[in-house]
Amino acid sequence: MTTGLIPGGHPPDPRPSAARPPHQRRDPAGRGALSADNRPRSSVITARAAASFEPVGRSVATARSFVRDTLQGWGFADIIDDAVVLTSELVTNAVVHAGTHADVLCLRSDDGVRIEVADRYPEREIPLQGSLATMGSPDREGGRGLQLCAAIAARWGVEYTPTHKQVWFRLDLPDRPVGTRAAGPSLPADLLPLADSRVRVAVVQIDRTGAISAWNEDAEELFGYAADQVTGKPLTDLAAWPHTPGTSTGIVEALQLSRWEGSYGLRGANGRITPVYASHLRVRDTDGEPSTVCLLVRDHERAVLQTPLRVPASDTTSGADGQSTDPFEVFIGSPAPDDLDGLLQRTVERARDMLDADSAFLLLATDDETELEVRASTGLPSARQRFARVPVEAGPGRYGSARMPAVHEDLLAVPGAVPLLSGTGMRSVVTVPLKVEGRLTGSLGVAAEAAGRYSNEEALRLQFAADRIALAVESARLGELERLRRGSLSFLVEASDLLAGTLDRDQTLALMAQMTVPTLATWCAVYTIADQASEPYLSYVLHEDEELIDGIKSLLSKVPPPDPVPTPGARVWAAPAEAAHDAALRSSMRSLGLTGGPTHQVASGIGPTLATASAVGGETVVLPLVARNRVIGMLTLGKPTDEHFRQEILELAEDLSRRAALALDNARLYSERTAISQALQRSLLPPELPAIDGVEVEVIYRAAGEGNEVGGDFYDVFPISDGAYGFAIGDVCGTGPNAAAVTGLARHALRLLAREGLSGPAVLERLNSAILDEGARSRFLTLLYGEMRPQEDGSAQLKVVCAGHPLPLRLRQDGTVEPAAEPQPLLGVMEDLELYEQSVTLDPGDVLLCVTDGVTERREGTRMLGDDGLADVLTTCTGLTAGAVAARIMRAVERFASDAPSDDMAILAMRVA
């Protein structure tokens, strides 16, 4: 998802300026009520937020969050729910049903908000049938988005361009009665907030470039700078940030928002930092030029500017009927988030606000209560800390204060007492346990940048709140675990089906990677080990961003592979992150010209290197791929910079690695078996056809069965002696390896016997005896054997013996076709055979065609090609070369039936030139 936020001003058209046609509004026949935009849109746009979402199912939830966060930031809480519902339906239509990217644009005006959802499928008609008054079944796949627009939105419409279809709707702000916005009770004087004798409110105006353009007298008194000293300077030169607790927004981003409220520090003329509370408002002057007005007071006087939290009536401790409400709702608010992450995040934010802290965090305990896992934080670098684990037991670098409330007045005095806060600048912290029925389920803590902020009183308040929410958190955690377990089982079942569906090694590697990214990790690499003496080899790399794959592959190729340890479970592998850090450092130094070389030569490579380093710079774990008690590889999973793996994800990855290892080993065994089988089969075929002067020879061979190169059919053409050549084509009963064994016996025996000077009948009689000697392994064999002697006059003299085989066909130059031999008994059945040979003379231009019964017995239903059909095809081959004759016969056989051939086929064509 890509987003952009530009408060103030008129929104630019997101489409290219070139060739931008005017919007074409389409009103399909019978759908006259599609557009409800009957009034001109004259509202002034004061802010704009845009985002683009990929055509995947999870984009719908991301789009809902984007719209909710945008409207929340604009202060449009009253219309958030309606906007989220409509956006969800329209984005679903785009990314799920239309299958395209969805572009969402939010436009703010003084009296409402307009949201536009565009997809890139303009040809797709509006999925709306009939009257808008009939909502139809809630189970319908499409069409509800526009119906909801008609029912909820103040105005809506559909606009078309040649490349986009855009559905927009407008929600007006409800009229708010004029009167008191917020009020507090009358308080005794000693309970009022402390302030100086005179409260000074600094008014600072920042132009669109971030520079100070106005600086009032109270600002001069507060910070010691005269107006002419700071005018024109960026506010960031004076601001001492960290960001406001609970946000990750920097000062530059805060100045661009339409409204912002929070605290930071400003460095005065004396060099000291003054903590201030600020309220920012983005405005524009009469010329349309945007700027930001900042109201600043000292931080302890924040009540002057701070907007009171609007507490719903249900959050009060007692209702109108005098009954007390749930203390949990008093702390969390109502309605409470229905998901664990939302509940935990709301908890840390409320805990931070309750103790006026700078940060807060919440950790959940593992099942054995030996470790705590960071699940929510505010005011801390959450991306780096999320899902990190720390041990519970006492000791260096361990979380020793998890099982009871603890107050640390200054972490500098006890370094490492709270490992989560190391390097964050927090000084004082209070932590309390979350317990359910005496069992530790988590820990809640708040921290401040100043030392000595908290005492036992704050610890008791925080413990009271933790006791209120512990049961709800544990219940939500158990619900999340149940959902994860169900999802894990579904994931593993699907993974097993996919892995079992292929025996191809490369495809298995690709499936392993595609199942882990992005479900389990941001990137993954698969190492394979050929044998025990081989080093691990990087076989496959995948990242969810395809542009980073080559960079990661290059980086990993420079890192020694992980050790092939057979110990089950995931182990951390630090080498990729260290290499990524070094690569990023070298790139940064080159960009600054610190290596002595010209910077322009390396500048083009800096971007990809830094992007690769960021992608690989997080936590990396290695899982062994163990199959049949042998490590056959490693599955490496990685996260981008400062991210950690959840334990549940690692356990799921371990289950996947076991299944993937067995699938990969099966693919390896199948590949080895196939390679051996093919090598043995190829050895049964003639190495090559001999060149015969004056005679063209062509062979086409097709073995039936997947993976078979040789079956029960065979052929051979070989020199005998004194210018004579032997040729043979035969068919062993059956197909597959058993028939191929007899094929090898027949082909090699023919060559040996023919070269002994035996006649054709004698050769076949001895071959018949050899086949019968095989006993139970013997199979009957049909065989056409002949000897050819080219003559000086250009003809060729043939002697042929046809033992039970389809008769050879002779094609004369005049197009006539006739058998070239007579049928005789087949081999492998009777011991005493009386065979004879026949002489045939082929004149120049004549063709002798020899085939196996897989050609003549080609069937389509009850029809069979047969000898007559083969002869009909051969009559059309007059004047063709031997290769063209064989090719035409094969095409005719293939076209005769739609099914794949079920029998071996061999075609031998010889033409006298």
Residue 520 CB contacts under 8 Å (≥ 6 apart), including other chains: 637, 649, 652, 653, 656
Backbone angles phi, psi at 236, to 5 degrees: -65, -20
Q: State the pairing for strand pair 371-378/359-365.
A: antiparallel
Indicate whether 785 pLDDT > 60: yes
Tokens of 787: 């000897």
Mean pLDDT of all residues in 509-521: 86
Q: Which tops the pLDDT comparison, 600 or 537?
A: 537
- The model carries a pTM of 0.44
**Residue 219: pLDDT band with limits 50, 70, 90:** very high
Please identify which residue in the block is written with the tokens 């008791």.
Answer: 460
Backbone angles phi, psi at 569, to 5 degrees: 100, 165
Indicate whether 475 pLDDT > 70: yes
Which of 854, 849, 856, 858 has its CA nearest to residue 883?
849
The full 3-state SS of 572-600, as one line of letters, equals: ECCHHHHHHHHHHHHHHHHHCCCCCCCHH
Mean pLDDT of all residues in 355-370: 81
pLDDT at 117: 92
69-86: burial string, b at 16+ Cβ within 10 Å, e else: ebbebbebeebbebbbbb
Indicate whether 254 pLDDT > 80: no
pLDDT at 437: 79
Mean pLDDT of all residues in 516-527: 88
pLDDT at 809: 95
**Residue 608: pLDDT band with limits 50, 70, 90:** low
Indicate whether 21 pLDDT > 50: no
**Residue 307: pLDDT band with limits 50, 70, 90:** confident
pLDDT at 328: 54
Mean pLDDT of all residues in 323-348: 66
CA–CA separation, 49 and 68 (whole Å): 12
Whether the CB-CB separation of 541 and 549 falls below 8 Å is answered with: yes
pLDDT at 308: 64
In tens, the pLDDT along 260-294 reads 788 888 989 988 888 898 888 888 888 888 999 99
What is the three-class DSSP state of 887?
helix
Indicate whether 28 pLDDT > 80: no
DSSP summary character for residue 39: S
Q: State the pairing for strand pair 847-851/905-912.
A: antiparallel
Mean pLDDT of all residues in 187-193: 76
pLDDT at 876: 93
Strand order in the sheet with 695-702: 695-702, 905-912, 847-851, 809-811, 817-819
Q: Which amino acid is at 525?
A: A
Indicate whether 179 pLDDT > 60: no
pLDDT at 808: 95
pLDDT at 736: 61
602 membership: H or E segment, kind and range: none
In tens, the pLDDT along 748-760 reads 889 999 998 899 9
143-160: burial string, b at 16+ Cβ within 10 Å, e else: bbbbbbbbebbbbbbbbb
CA–CA separation, 687 and 684 (whole Å): 9
Whether the CB-CB separation of 653 and 516 falls below 8 Å is answered with: yes
CB atoms closer than 10 angstroms to residue 769: 13
Q: Which tops the pLDDT comparison, 95 or 316?
A: 95
pLDDT at 822: 93
Q: Which tops the pLDDT comparison, 399 or 719?
A: 719
Q: State the pairing for strand pair 630-638/695-702.
A: unpaired
Q: Which tops the pLDDT comparison, 135 or 838?
A: 838
Indicate whether 320 pLDDT > 60: no
Mean pLDDT of all residues in 9-38: 40
pLDDT at 32: 37
pLDDT at 642: 64
Indicate whether 181 pLDDT > 60: no
**Residue 211: pLDDT band with limits 50, 70, 90:** very high
pLDDT at 795: 92
pLDDT at 706: 61
Across all residues in the chain, what is the average pLDDT? 79
CA–CA separation, 583 and 568 (whole Å): 31
145 membership: H or E segment, kind and range: helix 144-152
Q: Which tops the pLDDT comparison, 242 or 575?
A: 575
Q: Which tops the pLDDT comparison, 115 or 244?
A: 115
In tens, the pLDDT along 433-472 reads 888 877 888 889 999 988 888 888 888 888 888 888 888 8
Which of 273, 256, 242, 275 has its CA nearest to residue 206?
256
Mean pLDDT of all residues in 623-651: 83
Q: Which tops the pLDDT comparison, 276 or 135?
A: 276
Mean pLDDT of all residues in 487-515: 81
